[in-house]
Chains A and B, each alone.
Chain A
Amino acid sequence: MNRLREAYQPYDEPLPRATRERIEALLSGPPPRGAAPSSRGPAALPRHAALPRHAAPPRHAAPPRDAAPSPRGPAASPRDAASPRRRRRRALPLAFAAVAATVVVVVVLSAGGSEPASARAACTPAGAAAPCTHALAQVALGHVLPGSGDVLYVRSSWVVTGFTVDASGRGPGNRIRLAEARTPFEVVRRAVDELWVAPDGRGRVAHTDPGPAQLAAPADAAAWRAAGSPDLEALLPPAGEGMRPLQQDVPDVDSVLLGTNGLYDVLPHDGDPLAPIPRDPVALAAWLRERAFKERAAHDRGCTLDGAGCKPETLREIERTIAGDITTLLAYPATPRELAAPLVQLLGEQPGARALGLVHDEAGRELAAIALGDGEVVALDPETGVLGAVGAESGGVVRWRRTYAAAAARVPAVGDR
Chain B
Amino acid sequence: MVFREVFEAHHAEIRRYLVNRAGDAAVGEELASETFARAFAASGRFSGAVRPWLFAIATNVLRDELRARRRRLALLERLRGERPPVVALAPVVPGDPELAAALATLRRDELDVLLLHAWAELTYEEIAAALDLPIGTVRSRLSRARARLRSLLPERSPVR
Contact = CB atoms under 8 A, between A and B. Distances in A.
Contacts of A4: 99, 114, 118-119, 149, 158-160
B129 A19 contact: no
Contact of A248 (B37, B64, B75, B130): B75
A3 B56 contact: no
Interface string B11-41: 1100110011000011111001110111111
A109 interface: no
Contacts, number: 180
Contacts of B131: 40, 42
Interface in A223-258: 242, 246, 248, 250, 255-256
Interface string B52-63: 110011011000
A193 B75 CA distance: 13
Contacts of A193: 79
A11 B92 CA distance: 12
B138 to A, nearest CB: 13
Nearest to A266: B26
Contact residue range for chain B? 35 or more
B104 interface: no
Given A11-B16, A27-B3, A51 B78 contact: no
A159 interface: yes
Contacts of B39: 41
Given A3-B96, A7-B93, A36-B46, A259 B56 contact: no
Chain B interface mostly: helix
Given A10-B16, A40-B130, A85-B26, A242 B44 contact: no
Interface of B: 3-4, 7, 11-12, 15-16, 19-20, 25-29, 32-34, 36-46, 48, 52-53, 56-57, 59-60, 64, 68, 72-73, 75-81, 84-87, 91-94, 96, 99, 114, 118-119, 129-132, 149, 153, 156-160
Query: Shortest 7 CB-CB distances between A and B: which pairs?
Result: A36-B45, A50-B41, A42-B56, A51-B37, A31-B44, A35-B41, A37-B42
